[in-house]
């Protein structure tokens, strides 16, 4: 391994997270490799994770890939890099985005804030600001009572501002997001023909 690709953890030398990602390229399917990569490059929530920097950057991973041009799995690693994005807070969110791309949908924005520039604003996991479509993936922790109330406030804020909100969960993940992508296509089509939404395209509301 090259310098900087191993680290000492609790008295043991192990490969770093970025190098482990590269090694996983030998065996993981492309979509799963993208999910791992998205996790490495996501910006953490400091109040919950006690860190304020990502584990890796796209540029750093790309440089590492170029140092190991003959490594098994290198082609898959390069493919993954092209599809990785900062902003996915979970593997299901990454899987939903990839399913949307596979279904021919436009690439969505990630972590879409209702009010631009306001970090305290409600946000959607994915979405299309111009069409005022907010897409949420609510995992298991969203079943907790406190989180349910928070999610309701979040979704109400978007709907009050004239957005359509679609919420998906574990059943959609198990389905490979097949039905989800159909619903998203329908919502985008409806937004396109809705005069009220079209009026907002020229000057989207924050």
Q: Where are the domains of the chain?
A: 6-83, 91-201
Could you tell me if 61 and 21 are in contact, meaning their C-beta atoms sit under 8 angstroms apart?
yes
Percent of the chain exceeding pLDDT 90 equals 79
Give the C-alpha separation, 34 to 80, whole Å: 5
- Model pTM? 0.87
User: What is the predicted pLDDT for the residue at 141?
Assistant: 60
Ranges 3-7, 14-18, 131-135: which has the least confidence:
3-7
Give the C-alpha separation, 93 to 10, whole Å: 32
161-192 residues labelled b (16+ CB within 10 A) or e (exposed)? eebbbbbbbeebbeeebeebbeebeebeeebe
User: What is the predicted pLDDT for the residue at 199?
Assistant: 47
User: CATH code for 91-201?
Assistant: 3.40.960.10
Averaged over 145-174, what is the pLDDT? 92
> Three-class SS of residue 165?
strand
Averaged over 122-133, what is the pLDDT? 96
φ, ψ of residue 163 in degrees (nearest 5): -90, 155
Give the C-alpha separation, 105 to 166, whole Å: 15
Averaged over 160-169, what is the pLDDT? 97
Give the C-alpha separation, 7 to 109, whole Å: 34
Position 128 pLDDT exceeds 70: yes
User: What is the predicted pLDDT for the residue at 203?
Assistant: 36
User: What is the predicted pLDDT for the residue at 205?
Assistant: 37
Q: How confident is the model at residue 179 (pLDDT cuts 50, 70, 90)?
A: very high
Contacts of 71 (CB under 8 A, 6+ apart): 22, 25, 26, 77
Could you tell me if 106 and 189 are in contact, meaning their C-beta atoms sit under 8 angstroms apart?
no
pLDDT, tens digit, 9 for 90 and up, residues 61-114: 999 999 999 999 999 999 999 999 999 999 999 999 999 999 999 999 999 999
């Amino acid at each position: 391994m090259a310098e900087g690709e191993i680290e000492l953890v609790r008295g043991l030398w192990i490969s770093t997270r970025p190098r482990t990602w590269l090694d996983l390229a030998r065996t993981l399917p492309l979509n799963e490799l993208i999910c791992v990569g998205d996790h490495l490059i996501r910006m953490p929530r400091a109040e919950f994770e006690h860190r304020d920097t990502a584990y890796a950057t796209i540029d750093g991973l790309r440089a590492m890939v170029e140092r190991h041009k003959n490594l098994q799995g290198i082609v898959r690693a390069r493919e993954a890099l092209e599809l990785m994005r900062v902003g996915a807070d979970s593997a299901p969110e990454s899987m939903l985005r990839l399913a949307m791309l596979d279904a021919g949908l436009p690439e969505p924005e990630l972590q879409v804030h209702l009010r631009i520039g306001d970090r305290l604003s409600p946000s959607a996991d994915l979405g299309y600001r111009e069409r005022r479509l907010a897409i949420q993936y609510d995992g298991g922790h969203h079943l907790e009572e406190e989180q349910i109330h928070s999610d309701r406030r979040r979704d109400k804020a978007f709907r009050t501002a004239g957005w359509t909100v679609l919420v998906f969960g574990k059943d959609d993940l198990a389905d490979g997001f097949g039905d989800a992508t159909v619903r998203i296509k329908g919502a985008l089509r409806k937004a396109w023909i809705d005069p009220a939404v079209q009026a907002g395209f020229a000057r989207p509301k924050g």
